[in-house]
Structure 1
Amino acid sequence: MDQLLQHLVNTLIMGGTYALLGIGLTLIFGIMKIVNFTHGELYAFGAYMMYFFAVILGMDFFLSIAFAIVAGMVLGAAIEFTLLRTKRGADIDTTMILMIGAWIVLQNAEQLTWGGIAKSVPSPLPTEPLVIGPISISYLRAMVLLIALMLIAGTYLVINRTKLGKAMRATFQDSGTAALMGVNISAIYTMTFALGSALAAAAGALLGPVFVIAPTMGDLASLKAFAIVILGGLGNITGAAIGGFILAFSEEIGAGYISSGYRDAMGFLIIIIVLLFKPTGLFARSERIG
């Protein structure tokens, strides 16, 4: 039982960052109908920006997280403005090839800029773990969970409680009618891609200090983001959040009770099972953003 409780705590920590990845990806696909293959590289970009601000510039650790998220938002807006805006209305094959090209360019740019050697970000938090009964958790991982939950809650409030969120949901449901009602569709697309990119960068900035930072770290993150979206149902933000925790739970149980080598395999096994019995995802609805 003690071991299971520890695995559940680990699930919460990883699930929070997985949820950020999934929400960002499903937001972009749901509103823009874009398969964003750069999502994993935006995750890696957030981690590298964390390294840049915290280690190279020597900024405050928590301030560096905020700056890394903003940097991810700016890069996302730039990608939408320079690449996707000119191809708006193009078929999905064209945009997929475009985003695959952007993914390759971003990954190679990271390797050219930072080199192939893994980077690490030291944490100012205490190194000894916080022990609560049978559960042990590092202060750094607890901080990651807290910030991730705050970002998830903040995104939910933006989508469901603000004028911007109402415009985004209207664009998702019927972009033509939304435009007739005065919604600036181009601006909404840019903001949507920027917000989704910021969430991916946030996941990278939070997990960068936990693990190591490398140019190829975005590859597996991208696969997991797509897996989370499949689990939760396309366009369902709540489903993406829950899907992130489901994926983290399956990985943790697989690593804890089978073998650590099967951590990633267990998550994708869950995806295969879901696709066999519910191809639209566990929480899919016909019309949903929020």
Structure 2
Amino acid sequence: MDQLIQHLVNTLILGGTYALLGIGLTLIFGIMNVVNFTHGALYTVGAYLTYLAVAALGLDLFLALPVAILGGLLLGALIEIVLLRPLRGQDIDTTMLVMIGAGIVLQSGTLWIFGGVAKAVPSPFPEAPLQIGPASVSWLRLFVLGAALLLIGLTYALINRTKLGLAMRATFQDADTAALMGVNVRVIYTATFAMGSALAAAAGALLGPVYVVHPQMGGPAELKAFAIVILGGLGNVTGAAIGGFILALAEELGAGYISSGYRDAMGFLIIIAVLLYRPTGLFAKAERVG
């Protein structure tokens, strides 16, 4: 029982960052109908920006996180304006190839700039873990959970409680009608891609200090983001958030009770089952983009 409680605590912490990854990806697909193959690279960029802010600029982790989010936001806006905007109206195959190429360029760029040696992000928290009943958790991981839940809540509020969110939801439902009603669809597309990119960078910024930062870290993260989106249903923000916690639970239980080597495999077994029996996702009937 003690081991199960520890796994559940770990699930909460990991699930928060997975939810950020999934929400960012499903926002972009749901509103823009773009499969974002730069998502993993943006996750890596967020982790490296945190490393630079802490190790090079001397900022603490609390200030490094906004730096990473802002960097992901600006880079995402640049990608949308330079690469995606000229392709508006092109077939999906062309857009996918461009995004795959952009992801490779970003990953190669981080490798060229930072080298292949993994970097450790210094933590401002004490090493002694906090004991919560039979479970123990580091202060750093508690900070990661709190920051992830805060960002999820802010994203949900932005989508459902602001004029920008209303315009995003209108664009998702019918971009042409939204444009006739006065919505600047080009701006909404840029804002959407920038927001999704910022969430990916935030996930990397939060998990970078927990593990280590290296140029290949975005590959597995991107696969997990796609898995989360499939679990939650394409374009379903709430489903993506729940899907992140489901995937984290599957990984934790698989690693704890079967083998740590099956951590990633357990999650993808669930994905295969979902695709076979409910291909639209577990929460396809829920409201999408909200």
Pairwise TM-score range, normalised by the shorter structure: over 0.9
Residue of structure 1 equivalent to 2:103: 103
Structure 2 equivalent of residue 132 of structure 1: 132
Give the AA of the match of 1:196.
Answer: G
1:1-290 aligned at under 5 Å gives the runs 1-285=1-285, 288-290=288-290
Letter in 2 for 1:268: F
Q: Is the 8 A contact 1:122 1:209 kept in 2?
A: yes
Contact residue 26 and residue 229 of structure 1 kept, 8 A: yes
What amino acid is aligned across from residue 254 of structure 1 in structure 2? G
So what's the TM-score if we normalise by structure 2? 0.99
- Cα pair 2:239 2:286 within 8 Å, conserved: no
SS, match of residue 276 in structure 1: helix
CA contact (8 A) 2:24 2:197 kept: yes
Distance 1:111 1:176, change over 3 A: same
Q: Secondary structure at the match of 1:285?
A: coil
DSSP 3-state at the match of 2:37: coil
Instruction: Check whether the contact 2:60–2:124 (CA below 8 A) recurs between aligned residues.
Output: no
The AA in structure 1 aligned to 2:260 is S
Contact 1:22 1:241 in 2 (8 A): yes
- Alpha-carbon displacement from aligned partner over 1:147-196 (angstroms, at most 9, x marks no partner): 00000000000000000000000000000000000000000000000000
State the 1:288 CA deviation. 1.6
Please give the alpha-carbon distance, in whole angstroms, between the structure 2 residues aligned to 1:213 and 1:181: 45
In structure 1, give the amino acid aligned to 2:162: T
Equivalent pair of 1:173/1:287 in contact (CA under 8 Å): no
Q: Could you give the per-residue CA deviations for residues 193-246 of structure 1, whole angstroms, max 9, x where no partner exists? A: 000000000000000000011101000000000000000000100000000000
Q: What is the alpha-carbon distance in structure 1 between the residues aligned to residue 220 and residue 132 of structure 2?
A: 32
Q: Which runs of 5+ in 1 are unaligned?
A: none
1: CA distance between counterparts of 2:28 and 2:117? 32
Shift of 1:287: 6.2
The 3-state SS of whatever aligns with 2:182 is: coil
In 1, Cα distance between equivalents of 2:279 and 2:249: 21
CA distance in 2, matches of 1:174, 1:83: 23
CA distance in 2, matches of 1:52, 1:2: 38
Shift of 1:57: 1.0
The alignment covers a number of residue pairs equal to: 290
C-alpha distance in structure 1 between counterparts of 2:61 and 2:195, whole Å? 22
Task: State the distance in 1 between where 2:34 and 2:287 align.
Answer: 17
CA contact (8 A) 1:119 1:214 kept: yes
Report the Cα distance in structure 2 between the residues aligned to 1:114 and 1:132, rounded to whole angstroms.
Answer: 38
Residue 60 (structure 1) shift: 2.3
Return the letter of the residue paired with 2:103. Answer: W
Secondary structure, aligned partner of 1:136: strand
Q: Provide the alpha-carbon RMSD of the alignment.
A: 0.8
Answer whether contact 1:236 1:285 (CA < 8 A) is retained: no
Whole-angstrom distance in 2 between the partners of 1:230 and 1:28: 14
**Separation in 1, partners of 2:286, 2:184:** 24
Distance (Å, rounded) in 2 between the aligned partners of 1:286 and 1:71: 32
| Paired amino acid for 2:235 | G
Q: Does the Cα contact within 8 Å between 1:233 and 1:239 map onto a contact in 2? A: yes
User: Which runs of at least 4 in structure 1 moved beyond 6 Å after TM superposition?
Assistant: none
Q: CA deviation at 1:59?
A: 1.2
Structure 2 contact 230–271 (Cα < 8 Å) conserved: yes
- Aligned-pair identity in percent equals 71
Distance, in Å, in 2 between the alignment partners of 1:286 and 1:177 is 23
In 2, the alpha carbon distance for the partners of 1:196 and 1:133 equals 37
Aligned to 1:131, what secondary structure does the other structure show? strand
